[in-house]
Amino acid sequence: MTTTEVFLHVDGTDRPGADGASFAVVDPFSGETVATVAEATPGDVDDAVAAARRAYDDQRWRGQAPRDRARVLNRAAGLLAARIDDLAELETRQIGRPLREMRAQLRRLPEWLEYFGAVAQTAEGTVPDFGHGHLNVVRRVPLGVAGLITPWNHPLLITMKKLSVALAAGNSVVLKPSELAPVVPGMLVTLLEEAGVPAGVVDVVHGFGRTTGRALSEHRGLAKVDVTGGTETGRAIAAHAGRSLIPVTAELGGKAPVIVFDDVDLDVAVSGSLFAAFVATGQTCVQGSRLLVAEAVHDRFVAALVARTDALRLGDPMQAGTQVGPLVSEAQRDKTARAVERAVEQGATVLAGGAVPTAPELSRGWFYPPTILGGVTSSMDIWTEEVFGPVTLVRSFTDDADAVRLANDAQFGLAASVWTADTARALRVSQQLEIGIVWVNDHHRIDPSSPWGGFKDSGLGSENGLDAFHAYTRAQSVVVNTQPPGPDWFGTTSDLRYS
C-alpha cells in the first residue's frame, strides 16, 4: 500500500511543521499507514493566518469580480468531478466508510462550487429609502480571514460546504482538517489553486484539536470561525470567539428522531430507518438514533428491522459487497461498545448486534455490528447521549402529540425524519419539532441550496444556501448626501433639523 506524505500548505507552498513533527493516518480496516502528516505548531498557525491576511489585504482574490471568482470555482468543479473515484478511494482508506457510499457522496460535491459561484454572481445589494436628499447603498463585503475546522466523518463534504461559500464570498481561509482524515481535504486545496485560486488564499494546517485546533480557533487574526464537531468543543470555541467579537458558525451534535406513523408503507419505513441508522456506520450527526414507531405497527416494524439489520454485510470497505465498514478508530469503537454496555446495565434490551464481532475476517478492523436497543426509557443515558456509531433504539408512541413530545425530548435539535402517507400530518408534526432539518419520507438528504443547521445544543447558524453566503459577508452601508450643503451646525443658534 502506498503511503502519502502530507505537508502544511502556507502561502501556496507545501512545507513541514516548524519543529518537524508528524503523525500517521491509519486505515481503520487494515491498520496500515495511509499517510504521514506534518503537524503544525502555533507558530505555523500564525504563519498561515498571516499569509491568508496578506492575500486578503492585497485583494488578489476578493478584488476579482464575482463573475471571475465564479469562473474559477466552476473550473475547480470540473477538475473535482474528473477525480472523484480516486478521491473516494482515499476517503475510504482514511475513515473506513464503504467505497460505494463514498463515491455516491463525493459525486455531489462539485455542485457546491457551482452553486456558490452562481450565488456570488447574482448577489445584490439594497437601496433603502433613507429619506429626501440622501441615497443609501448597502452592499455585502467579505469578512476577512476565516478559520475552518472540519471533522473526520465526512472529510471532503464538510470541507466543501464551508470552503465553497467562504471563497465565493471573497474571503481568505485557513483550514484545519481532522487529524484522522486530513489527506483529501488538503488535496482539494491543491485542486483549487490549479483551477486559479491564487496562492495564499487557502492555507492548510494539520494537527490535533488541543494544540493546532485551539491555536487556530483562538487566533485574533480571524474574522470568522466555522466549526463542525462536538458540542462541548463548539461551546469552548464560541465562548472564546465571543470575547474577540468574532462570528461563529457551529454544526454540533445530534440525536435525530425518526418518527414512523402507522399509515406509512412498512417496508418503505423499515428501509428508510435502516439507512438513517446505519449509513456511514452511524458516524454522522444526523444519524437516525431514536426510532419512534406508532404502537399499532411497532412489533411488526421491529421484527422487520431486526431481520434487515442482522442481514447487513460487514467487511472490507473497498469491496463492492460491503454494506457496513469499520468505525474510524479503536477509541470510537470502544466508545460505542461502552454506550451499549451502559444501556444494558440501565435496563435496555439488545434486539440486534450488541457485541464486538469475533469473525476472523473482521479481526483486523475496528468493527461494531449495527445494533438495535429496545426497552429504552427517557432516564437512560442512551436516550440523549450521542454515540456516533451504529447504534439506534426503538420506542413506541401513542399519538401525534406523544411522538412530538418524545422527538423534542433531547438537548439536541439538528435533524429528524417523519414517515407518513398523510401530508397534512407530516406538515403539522414537522412544524412542532424543535429541530432545524426535517425530512418527510426520506432521511439524510442534502443540497447546496438548502440551509443545514440545528436548534438548541446542535449549533449556531447554518451551512448551505443564501444564509451561509450572508454569514460569510457583512453589510456596508454607504449614505450619500445628494443635496446642496446644509446649514452650518455650529455657526448658528437657531433650531436645526437633524435628518
Residue 496, pLDDT > 80, answer no
> What mean pLDDT, rounded, does the chain reach?
96
Sorting pLDDT into bands at 50, 70 and 90, what band is 241? Answer: confident
Q: Which of 189-193, 243-247, 403-407, 434-438 has the lowest mean pLDDT?
A: 243-247
- Give, as one character, the DSSP assignment of residue 499: -
pLDDT of res. 487: 78
pLDDT of res. 492: 80
Residue 499, pLDDT > 70, answer no
Segments making up each domain of the chain, as ranges: 4-252+458-479, 256-440
Span 4-252+458-479 CATH architecture: 3-Layer(aba) Sandwich (3.40)
> How much is the average pLDDT of 316-327?
97
Residue 22, pLDDT > 70, answer yes
> How much is the average pLDDT of 222-241?
93
For residue 245, give the amino acid letter.
L
- Cα end-to-end distance, the chain, whole Å: 72
Is the model's pTM score more than 0.85? yes
Answer for the pair 249, 461: CB distance below 8 angstroms, yes or no. Answer: yes
Q: Sign of the C-alpha dihedral, residues 236, 242, 244, 250?
A: positive
Answer for the pair 461, 472: CB distance below 8 angstroms, yes or no. Answer: no
Answer for the pair 496, 489: CB distance below 8 angstroms, yes or no. Answer: yes
Q: Is 23 helix (H, G, I), strand (E, B) or coil?
A: strand
Rounded to 5°, the CA angle 130-132-133 comes to 95
pLDDT, tens digit, for every residue of 350-380? 999 999 999 999 988 999 999 999 999 999 9
Q: Which three cell numbers stand for residue 239?
A: 465562548
> Could you tell me what percent of the chain has a pLDDT over 70?
99
Residue 498, pLDDT > 70, answer no
- Give, as one character, the DSSP assignment of residue 40: P
Question: 335: burial class by Cβ within 10 Å (0-12, 13-18, 19+)?
Answer: middle
For the question of residue 251 being annotated catalytic, the response is yes
Answer for the pair 383, 405: CB distance below 8 angstroms, yes or no. Answer: no
Sorting pLDDT into bands at 50, 70 and 90, what band is 495? Answer: confident
Q: Is 264 helix (H, G, I), strand (E, B) or coil?
A: coil
Residue 381, pLDDT > 90, answer yes
Residue 153, pLDDT > 90, answer yes
- β-pairing, 412-413 with 455-456? antiparallel
pLDDT, tens digit, for every residue of 3-18? 789 999 999 999 999 9
pLDDT of res. 240: 87
Residue 243, pLDDT > 90, answer no
Cα separation values, 272 from 174, 201, 322, 441, Å: 38, 41, 19, 8
Sorting pLDDT into bands at 50, 70 and 90, what band is 115? Answer: very high
pLDDT, tens digit, for every residue of 476-492? 999 999 998 877 888 88
Answer for the pair 175, 189: CB distance below 8 angstroms, yes or no. Answer: yes
Among 101, 193, 218, 251, the active-site one is: 251
Q: Which three cell numbers stand for residue 332?
A: 470510537
Q: Output the CATH code of domain 256-440.
A: 3.40.309.10
Q: Which of 152, 181, 149, 178 is nearest to 249 (CA)?
A: 149
